[in-house]
């Protein structure tokens, strides 16, 4: 008998193809994440933000100490 389906993938082949694409997508995500193209979300605490503002010179030392007391 002749095969009239003409498909290259059977039911198991399609599942394997989708799984293969999924593995490639996950691998690409981790490669891009490690190269800092995709940056994970960073949850800064109030104290870290305060330290960054002080380091950039946005606030004075007196302001830093005053706000730090309010935070802690």
Per-residue pLDDT tens for 31-67?
877 776 666 666 678 898 999 999 999 999 999 999 9
Burial of 20 (0-12, 13-18, 19+ CB in 10 A): exposed
Query: pLDDT tens digit string along 6-32?
Result: 566 667 777 888 999 999 999 998 887
Separation of alpha carbons 13 and 41, rounded Å: 37
Separation of alpha carbons 68 and 45, rounded Å: 12
Query: What ranges do the domains of the chain cover?
Result: 12-40, 42-72
Q: Which residues contact 71 (CB under 8 A, 6 or more apart)?
A: 46, 47, 50
At 12 the pLDDT is 75
At 25 the pLDDT is 95
Q: Is the pLDDT of residue 1 over 70?
A: no
């Amino acid at each position: 008998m002749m095969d009239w389906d003409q498909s290259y993938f059977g039911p198991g082949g399609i599942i394997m193809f989708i799984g293969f694409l999924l593995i490639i997508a996950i691998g690409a995500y981790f490669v891009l994440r490690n190269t800092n193209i995709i940056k994970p979300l960073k949850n800064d605490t109030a104290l870290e933000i305060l330290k960054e503002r002080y380091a950039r010179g946005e606030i004075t030392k007196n302001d830093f100490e005053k706000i730090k007391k309010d935070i802690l």
